[in-house]
Structure 1
């Protein structure tokens, strides 16, 4: 095969971080080329998708009754197979111009999903245009590689990947996951907790976009040196009219305490199951945080306080899983043993 033809085949390989909140696509030799919300706006009259990604997310809460904004993934797994397949097809076509050739694809999935859920992801990718078989890599392994951890060495590496729908905690050594914990709690649960708190305490209804904005502005997992306040606008559930309230970081910390505690507990359970030699390595190197949820203010301090371990924020926490999946493409022959397909 000529070098130019071989290069064109390489250009078709892609890794997909199929997230509950966002989907990222890494193309071999090019890096991350797409980062879009995992949202599809659908015309319910005929099932036709009207918008995908950022455009669809802008429509959330602002559509007429015959248009619905659908998030096809929930808790890290496919909730609507048909819409997920259409979303994947759209993203593949955006980055892969050669319609006649199917790209080889690696898809990143939570470590705690069932065999049925795993197969659903593979089938969605294959129906969307991926070459069979679509390969699967577990998110904590991809996150660890994307964060630059020496996963092939005989030392303990611990990664905590907090996504939109799941939190993946894993201890990795010699190219394998030694022990792990997967909980279906992530950024979405923090958003929901904020919306429920505001509804209960202030009789105010707010949308998911507003909840996410509050989380980013006021959310914290640990007491801050300086507490902040912010205005929130929503609909008064008593009068039905627009209303503005003022809330604080202290209140929002109280609102998200339950899901934050569940994340902390998952880390503690994993540490408790870690062999002593690997635990000593982790004590020396630290626990690495990845994923969008890792950006929650004070989460590193909270984890350090409750585990006694040093906490390290990955360089590009939002991109670690996609970058790790991409590394499998770049070194496919050497790393193929770490991924799986239905043929294995």
Structure 2
């Protein structure tokens, strides 16, 4: 664990390649990129028109020769070349030139728990194409736990349920490592697809993507006995109309994929040691992701398991915040006596690194430095106490530790005004700009009349 942390602290950039958004953390600066994982490609010329928010704004509104591509699906890179071009566009406006090549030598990447060899090779190919010499993979559930401020360093169970866009990851951590974990291919996209298909079949409406997301937010606040207004296009006539739908049917439709997540949480609890599960009764489980509060998934899990589900502030940024803490070295997750991160509901403990440094002693006068501040080996060769220090520039005493004498630079060596080339036999001039032919500076001796 200590070797992995040492490799992480040598990295300068951390990447969280998600299905919905890509986030980049720069050491010492924080999160510099938080953009959607989308690019707009022109099929006629093969040129990237936009990336990030600008590309997502063109989705559903661009002509036929402009397509919107997403090179990451289910937290796995599916298009290596397009992912490289997308990351270059993200870094060009924030970190450009030689600095980006230097920062990309060592990078840390968030990956799902227990990824396959294909996913590892694709991720390594993306960053090696960008110039990375070392790619350090980090489990997403572990980085999320650090970002939420969970105490993963002690022998106490801590549970993470990360509901992403393409998949949901459930893990139980203790002593800085994952004890039991499971991944379910159910996420926000699954909820939206099921809801869209139900509205098409029952109410004969086609809702845009923003409209489906608004319906999900309303379902989290409206009880099953309420009603929800649906505004969309009629696929038969093309007219825009509004329909009032019962919330009970929509809740029942979305509850089918949510039940798969609840069953996966129960499976992880059954496979875990009972001592760690008993710790969750006091600490609770932490839920992160962008879609956990839209449909009331945390309430459903709390009712099914009897364990309190907690949600940190800005749950979608938990993974990149954890990566940033690991890069900065502010947390020590492998140490059993250290609290990792800062819990959103409790103040952070005082640490020696966060205290005010002790004031440095004031340096004495320059004339007294040789007597008062010199070490014992130098004081023996110092001037007697009764004599005054010599004025003027000081010269370093020669000694065996002085090293070899460096030759002067090329401009200093080229102090002779003329020289003769051994090959051509022509006279040359030497100056601070290098050696040039003398004919360039020769004044003609005879002018034409």
Instruction: Give TM class, smaller chain.
Output: 0.7 to 0.9
Counterpart check, 1:269 vs 2:280: no
Aligned to 2:179: 178
- Confirm or deny: 8 A CA contact 1:218 1:248 kept in the other structure: no
Aligned to 1:118: 120
Aligned to 1:89: 88
Aligned to 1:216: 217
After superposition, the Cα gap between the structure-2 partners of 1:66 and 1:239, relative to the gap in structure 1 and judged at 3 Å, is same
Aligned to 1:53: 52
Q: Write out aligned runs for 1:1-344 (5 A).
A: 13-97=12-96, 98-103=99-104, 104-129=106-131, 131-219=132-220, 224=223, 227-233=226-232, 235-331=233-329
Q: What secondary structure is seen at the aligned counterpart in 1 of 2:292? A: helix
Distance 2:117 2:330 in 1: 23
Aligned to 2:353: none
Which runs of 5 or more structure 2 residues have no equivalent in the other structure? 1-8, 336-449
Q: What secondary structure is seen at the aligned counterpart in 2 of 1:108? A: strand
Q: Give me the TM-score of the superposition, normalised by structure 2.
A: 0.67
- Aligned-CA RMSD value: 2.4
Deviation track 1:135-172 (CA, whole Å, cap 9, x = no partner) reads 11111111111000011111110010111111110000
Q: What secondary structure is seen at the aligned counterpart in 1 of 2:310? A: strand
Distance 2:61 2:128 in 1: 33
Distance 2:245 2:25 in 1: 39
Which runs of 5 or more structure 1 residues have no equivalent in the other structure? 1-9, 338-344
Aligned to 1:342: none
Cα shift at 1:180: 0.2
Higher mean Cα deviation, 303-312 or 87-96?
87-96
- Confirm or deny: 8 A CA contact 2:262 2:301 kept in the other structure: yes
After superposition, the Cα gap between the structure-2 partners of 1:33 and 1:102, relative to the gap in structure 1 and judged at 3 Å, is closer
After superposition, the Cα gap between the structure-2 partners of 1:37 and 1:216, relative to the gap in structure 1 and judged at 3 Å, is farther
Q: What secondary structure is seen at the aligned counterpart in 1 of 2:241? A: strand
Q: What secondary structure is seen at the aligned counterpart in 1 of 2:134? A: coil
Cα shift at 1:217: 3.2
- Confirm or deny: 8 A CA contact 1:20 1:74 kept in the other structure: yes
Distance 1:301 1:147 in 2: 19
Distance 1:107 1:164 in 2: 18
Larger radius of gyration: 2
- Confirm or deny: 8 A CA contact 1:167 1:184 kept in the other structure: yes
Distance 1:120 1:308 in 2: 40
Cα shift at 1:319: 0.6
Cα shift at 1:33: 2.2
